[in-house]
Amino acid sequence: MYPLKFKPILKERLWGGKKLKTVLGKSIESDITGESWEISGVEGDISVVANGDLAGTSLKQLIDEHAENLLGKSVVERFGKEFPILIKFIDAKQDLSVQLHPNDKLAKERHNSFGKTEMWYVMDADDDASLIVGFNRDVSKEEYAESLKKDTLLDLLNYEKVDSGDTFFINTGKVHAIGAGVLLAEIQQTSDVTYRIFDFNRKDKDGNLRELHTEQALDAIDYKKKDDFKVDYTSRMNVVNTMVDCPYFKTDYLHLTENWLEDLTDRDSFTIFMCVNGTAQISNENGTADIKKGESLLVPAFSNSISIKTESAELLVVTI
């Protein structure tokens, strides 16, 4: 197996826009495309290979037939034949709903699913664009519930102004929302379990308010004010800069201005590259694939080395 590219799974959203097309070059006709699922093992949205001899093969079939070679032995021991992360690009023309995700324990009990720890890397942001991350002070469950009744929840939330390159780590239980004008790369546990707690009283195309998960969220929220979300990372060129290293994934920032060779003999995991700027050509022993801004690819775990040819590329490098 060579470096694998997958067909983007495009999702229209009430809050979506045009930046996946205009900034990232996706082939999109809709004006409200909010998400491009780049590599997905979510049931009903399984990625399909787009390049080379394996084109047309689903990620599920690849895992069924080549689990350890594709994912890595240690990954299979932890997650079985489930692909453990979901890779996306997200364009918010409007504010997303305020939401949170349950932890592994709650998600397993209620939904037979993983929880959803995630991270965001801001690729583009309009002037004064912001995110909601957590509360602006400690809040009790009772105070939170009262704010929903009085429609004053927004007064309790923490707003973070953002610029390109800003990176955020979102623990389970943390209330959050991507603000209007933000285009970002998202890396998360494989899960589509979301508790929506506030949606700005918007109506969908049929004139209906979207469902809120008020009761489910009450026991899933972290009500404490915590300044643990902004990721402080170095951005030195031509070296590995660690961004996030959590139990579910590890993400490095790699800004290359020259060719790169990496020995993988000690890595027992697949490697995903998300290109957030520039272009590159990525190879393993079995083949080569080109990648440009707004594209992603997966290098199988059996690979002994990766070589990258580039004059300039900024890459998020994701492993387990």
Q: Say which CATH number the domain at 271 has.
A: 2.60.120.10
Q: What is the pLDDT of residue 204?
A: 77
- 255 among the known binding-site residues? no
Indicate if 116 and 209 belong to the same structural domain.
yes
Categorize the per-residue pLDDT at 274 as very low, low, confident or very high, splitting at 50, 70 and 90. very high
Q: What is the pLDDT of residue 191?
A: 84
Indicate if 151 and 183 belong to the same structural domain.
yes
* In-domain check, residue 234: no
Q: Which residue range is the domain that position 81 belongs to?
A: 9-218
Q: What is the pLDDT of residue 301?
A: 97
Q: What is the pLDDT of residue 76?
A: 97
Domains: count for the chain: 2
Q: What is the pTM of this model?
A: 0.94
- 143 among the known binding-site residues? no
Indicate if 129 and 179 belong to the same structural domain.
yes
Phi, psi of 220 (to 5 degrees): -105, -10
CA distance 76 to 114: 15
Put residue 201 in one of left, alpha, beta given phi > 0 → left and psi -120 to 50 → alpha.
left
Q: What is the pLDDT of residue 299?
A: 98
Residue 7 pLDDT exceeds 80: yes
Q: Determine the residue type at 107.
A: A
Which one is catalytic: 13, 110, 196, 202? 196
Q: What is the pLDDT of residue 207?
A: 83
Indicate if 213 and 267 belong to the same structural domain.
no
CA distance 8 to 39: 8
Indicate if 39 and 162 belong to the same structural domain.
yes
Indicate if 31 and 160 belong to the same structural domain.
yes
Over the stretch 157-210, which tens digit does the pLDDT of each residue have?
A: 999 999 999 999 999 999 999 999 999 999 999 987 899 999 998 887 788 888
Indicate if 213 and 264 belong to the same structural domain.
no
Within 10 angstroms of residue 149's Cβ, the number of other Cβ atoms is 8
Q: What is the pLDDT of residue 209?
A: 87
Over the stretch 131-166, which tens digit does the pLDDT of each residue have?
A: 999 999 999 999 999 999 999 999 999 999 999 999
Question: Which residue, chain included where needed, has tokens 């996946």?
Answer: 20
Indicate if 244 and 214 belong to the same structural domain.
no
Q: Let me know if 196 is a catalytic residue.
A: yes
Indicate if 210 and 247 belong to the same structural domain.
no
Residues 31-41 have a mean pLDDT of 97
